[in-house]
Chains A and B, each alone.
Chain A
Amino acid sequence: MASAAVSTPLKSHAGLFSSRTAGGRMPLTPSPRQRQATAPVSQNLDSSPFTPERKSADISRPSSKSVYGGNLSSHFAKASSRSSHRDSPKSNIARGVCTPRKALELGVSDFTLVGTGNTKSSSSKKTSLRQKTSKTTVTYGADRFIPNRSNSSAISNAGSGKLDVTDKQRAKTSNTEGSAVLSSATDDAIAALEGLNINDEEGATYSRPSPNTIAYQDSLANACGVNLNTRILQFKPAPPESSKPIDLRQQYNRPLKSANTSSAQFRRRVATAPERVLDAPGLIDDYYLNLLDWSSGNQVAIGLERNVYVWSADEGSVSCLLETSPDTYVSSVKWSGDGAYVGVGLGTGEVQIWDVAEGQKVRSMFGHDTRVGVMGWNKHLLSTGARSGLVYNHDVRIAEHKVAELVSHTSEVCGLEWRSDGAQLATGGNDNLVSIWDARSLAVPKFTKTNHKAAVKALAWCPWNANLLATGGGSYDRHIHFWNTTSGARVNSIDTGSQVTSLRWSTAYKEIVSSSGFPDNSLSIWSYPTLVRNVEIPAHESRVLHSCLSPDGQMLATAAADESLKFWKVFEKKAGSAAGVGASGSSGKAEMAKQMTIR
């Protein structure tokens, strides 16, 4: 086609094709200048960057290459047809007729003739002469162009390779071809090719194989996307998952400052120093126990070895509620909803209920054979989770207190939380399971979630969205997962980077605070649902074991393995709203020492 453009008035066809080839393929770049330089006939230049290829005697190859651009299948078809028909001029003609280009071209037959000539070495002057005679009728540039043919296609490939990615893969193959080409082409275009400087020796060696062989290898390699001298290597590990779907439209409309810095301006200020520090000597460093709770009556109960102490946040006074028999220890404490009673789980499996105002034991409930590490109240129901993996529901009003046995966990239950309306119960265990129970049917869990890779102690129901449950995994897992407990779907996840020992939702802000064990020993406040970490407070010297929120939701108490109990004003109400409600009532605070010992 190109030669048609060059030597006959059919230029317009070339233009037509070139516009197609160029169409959309290389909109931003001008054709590389060396291509122009090599093209001996200037009228080609604007018609198509691929025109030199069209001069090729090897008709179908370059033509289809340029016409079909990166279409591998067409290369395949072409490659195979060429391999079978290469030596027969007739079949060449027939094949040529099949190509769509032919249908458009008037000078077709001439080119098929040229094509037959090409089976001989194209760089031979004699050949070109012969070809010229054979097609005298046709073109005049012919003798000039023939030497270039098979080779000039390579030149143009070289030039177009930048744009045509399929061509690029051939890299070295076509390079060698190109050099052979160039060496022969230099006669025609020495001046233009100054910068090219071909190694003549190399050119000679490479020119030895028949051009068809080269072309065949070339197109075969091309078609298969294989290059003999380069390898395409992929970094095999899968890239990390994106934490959430992204809407780019938001991104483009973002303020110039990055998300972190801009949000910092609007971010709530959180006091990073504790409001108060209390010693908690003898606090058992055991992840599976739950030894701290804050009642609705603003009293904090903490289990220290064999004793339960109650600290009144209003008055700052401490009293020892009970001491167990020397053969056991306190493994869990939990205030009833009204703040009048505290449930105490013991290492023996016994569960006691104490009236705090009276300082007297109300009753003992037996049933568990193993220590009771976690408890939860739902009105008159007390749920207890034991090391055996069993969870019992006790109706504390009646003699036959055990009303349900929840069988799901196979290892120690360490997390248990009733939803505020009492319709659902979430339990987490050392078997890495999260079980979500429907209060109406406790035979089997409604959902059992296996996503955590370590024990699940931290459980928290969202106060503003009853369907939302947050669960945090242990040191091997380090994730917080958020669940829709109606559908059972996981809606969000955070990798916190350390063991999650407890989770508490803010009641006033759309935030959740997590406490960490190894290695951070910190408190982190995350906004939800953006999951941005608003602040990380280095809270304790060793892992934070328990946390609980004050009844007004402003203050967080944390107990850690460093045997201290700290109070943090993490969810302080905005200035202007009523201050000093409950929690560390301002009156008590003033009188209290910054440090005091509970016992």
Chain B
Amino acid sequence: MADKSADKDKSKVHKLSLKGSAKLVTEFFQYSIHTILFQRGVYPAEDFTTVKKYGLNMLVSSDDQVKAYIKKIMSQLDKWMQHSKISKLVIVITDKDTGEHIERWQFDVQIFNTKKSKSKSNPADENAISTSASKAATTETPKTEAEIQAEIAALFRQITASVTFLPQLQGDCTFNVLVYADADSDVPVEWGDSDAKEIVNGERVQLRGFSTSSHRVETLVSYRLGE
């Protein structure tokens, strides 16, 4: 939902930084999907192996099918990110038996311009009003790679810690990946329109976010209240 003019502008001026940043964000998504699948026990713990990433031991599924599945999602996501088509990535955990959505991890992506705040640019969405305003101040000095990594690491720590307050998942669970994309995006056949898969009467918790030179990612988890 980044508005068009800003988008084009960026593609001229910040093509490189946008590309690198998109890659970084996509990579973050990949690890977050793996982390959530592990932390929430969607797949057995034995399926996961540790890899060093963001200065943490990240758990990544070693199951070929799961890996291939996530890889497929990521390759498409990468394309969309490069063209700034994505505003949200959502991971929904669903009860296999009842089909009820019990947990929903939402990553909001905002794309902004690092050039001194363009007064004419509409914020990517309403949420961006506050953040882009604050961003304008904070991004005066661009973040170093290490700072970004540290922010991501902090976010992953928080995701990991969130299992302490999230309710225990009962029964067999499966997951789905949703993407909020611009209406004019190219959509491959594997992707189809969906509802938002909201949690009915869910509890919401905002987690940390991180930002790169051209993206800001906010994390929100909503979950079904324990009975």
The answer to whether A and B come from one shared complex is: yes
Cβ-neighbour of A242 out of B48, B172, B181, B220 (below 8 A): B172
Chain A's closest residue to B77 (CB) is: A235
By a CB distance below 8 angstroms, the chain A residues around B106 are 165
Contact with B along A229-253 (1 / 0, CB 8 A): 1111111111111111111111110
Q: Does A44 contact B (CB under 8 A)?
A: no
What are the residues of chain B within 8 A of A246 when measuring CB–CB? Answer: 41-45
The yes or no answer to B87 lying at the interface (CB within 8 A) is: yes
B69 touches A233 (CB 8 A): no
Nearest CB in chain A: distance from B223 CB, A: 11
Which residues of B lie under 8 Å from residue A199 when comparing CB positions? 120, 122
Contact of B44 among A166, A194, A242 (CB under 8 A): A242
Is B144 interfacial (CB-CB < 8 Å)?
A: no
Complex Cα distance, B192 from A234, in Å, reads: 5
Contact of B63 among A34, A198, A240, A532 (CB under 8 A): A240
**Interface presence of B73 (CB below 8 A):** yes
How many angstroms between the C-alpha atoms of A261 and B176 in the bound complex? 30
A471 part of interface (Cβ distance < 8 Å): no
Determine the distance from Cα of A249 to Cα of B206 in the docked complex, in whole angstroms: 25
Q: Which residues of A contact B222 (CB under 8 A)?
A: 165
- Beta-carbon nearest neighbor of A154 in chain B: B126
Most chain B CB within 10 A, of A24, A233, A243, A250, is at: A233
A243 CA to B174 CA, complexed, in Å: 12
Task: Take A70-B198, A165-B196, A233-B194 as given contacts and tell me if A243 and B204 are in contact as well, using a CB distance cutoff of 8 Å.
Answer: no
A576 touches B (CB below 8 Å): no
Is the CB of A560 closer than 8 A to any CB of chain B? no
Q: How far is the CA of A177 from the CA of B96 in the complex (A)?
A: 40
Q: Is there an interface contact between B125 and A175, defined as CB atoms closer than 8 Å?
A: yes
> Which residues of B have CB within 8 Å of A158?
125-127, 129
Per-residue CB proximity of A145-185 to B under 8 Å, as 1/0?
Answer: 00000000000011101110111110110110011000000
Residue numbers in B under 8 Å from A254 (CB-CB) = 45
- Structural contact, B203 and A162, CB atoms closer than 8 A: no
B126 touches A236 (CB 8 A): no
Which chain B residues lie closer than 8 Å to A161 at the CB level?
A: 125-127
The residue from A28, A252, A260, A497 contacting B49, defined by CB atoms under 8 A apart = A260
B66-A245 in contact (CB<8A): no
Total number of A-B contacts with CB less than 8 angstroms?
Answer: 210
Q: Is B204 in contact with A163, judged by CB distance below 8 angstroms?
A: yes
Task: Verify B204–A235 contact, CB threshold 8 A.
Answer: no
Instruction: Indicate the member of B41, B76, B169 with the most A CB atoms within 10 Å.
Output: B41
With A197-B120, A234-B177 already in contact, the answer to whether A229 and B45 are too (CB < 8 A) is no
Q: How far is the CA of A198 from the CA of B173 in the complex (A)?
A: 45
- Given known A240-B69, A245-B172, contact A171–B125 (CB-CB < 8 A): yes
Listed stretches B11-19, B24-32, B132-140, B147-155; interface member: B132-140
Assuming the contacts A202-B122, A231-B185, A233-B192, asked whether A34 and B129 have C-beta atoms less than 8 A apart, the reply is: yes
Q: How far is the CA of A194 from the CA of B117 in the complex (A)?
A: 11
B69, A237: Cβ atoms closer than 8 Å: yes
- In the bound complex, what is the Cα–Cα distance between A21 and B173 (angstroms)? 30
A196 to B177, CA, bound (A): 32
Chain B min CB distance to A412 (Å) = 31
Within 8 A of A (CB), among B101-141: 106, 108, 117, 119-123, 125-127, 129-130, 132-134, 136-137
Q: Which residue of A lies closest to B206 (CB)?
A: A29
Q: Is A204 an interface residue (CB 8 A)?
A: no
- Per-residue interface assignment for chain B, residues 211 to 227, with 1 indicating a CB less than 8 Å from any chain A CB and 0 otherwise: 00000001010100000
A162–B134 CB distance below 8 A: no
In Å, the complex CA distance between A246 and B61 comes to 15
A257: chain B residues at CB < 8 Å are: 50
Chain A residues with CB under 8 Å of B195's CB are 225, 232
Query: Once the chains bind, are B134 and A240 in contact (CB under 8 Å)?
Result: no
Q: Quick check: is A444 within 8 A (CB to CB) of the other chain?
A: no
Residue A530 at the chain B interface, CB threshold 8 Å: yes
Chain B residues near A34 (CB-CB < 8 A)? 129-130, 133
> Is there an interface contact between B183 and A26, defined as CB atoms closer than 8 Å?
no
Picked from B50, B121, B125, B191, the residue with its CB within 8 Å of the CB of A233 is: B191
Give complex CA distance A566, B46 in Å: 32
Best-surrounded residue of A162, A171, A179, A228 (most CB of chain B within 10 A): A162
**Does A27 lie at the interface of the complex (its beta carbon under 8 Å from any beta carbon of B)?**
yes
Distance A186 CA – B28 CA, assembled complex (angstroms): 38
Chain B residue with the shortest CB-CB distance to A240 = B65
Does A594 reach chain B (CB closer than 8 Å)?
Answer: no
Task: Determine which residue in B106, B163, B196, B205 has the highest number of CB atoms from chain A within 10 A of its CB, and name it.
Answer: B196
Chain A residue at smallest Cβ distance from B172 = A245
Is A32 part of the contact surface with B, judged by Cβ < 8 Å? yes
B190 on interface, CB distance cutoff 8 Å:
yes
Contact A229 B183 (CB under 8 A): yes
19 extra A-B contacts, CB within 8 A, seeds A231-B180, A235-B73, A260-B62: A25-B203, A27-B203, A34-B133, A162-B108, A165-B106, A165-B222, A167-B126, A196-B129, A196-B133, A197-B120, A232-B180, A232-B194, A235-B176, A237-B69, A237-B190, A240-B66, A242-B174, A250-B45, A530-B46
Chain A interface (Cβ < 8 Å from any Cβ of B)? 24-29, 32-35, 70, 157-159, 161-163, 165-169, 171-172, 174-175, 178-179, 194-199, 202, 225, 228-252, 254, 257-261, 495, 497, 530, 532
Which B positions have Cβ atoms within 8 angstroms of A?
1, 40-50, 59, 62-66, 69, 72-73, 76, 87-88, 106, 108, 117, 119-123, 125-127, 129-130, 132-134, 136-137, 163, 168-169, 171-183, 185, 187, 190-198, 203-207, 218, 220, 222
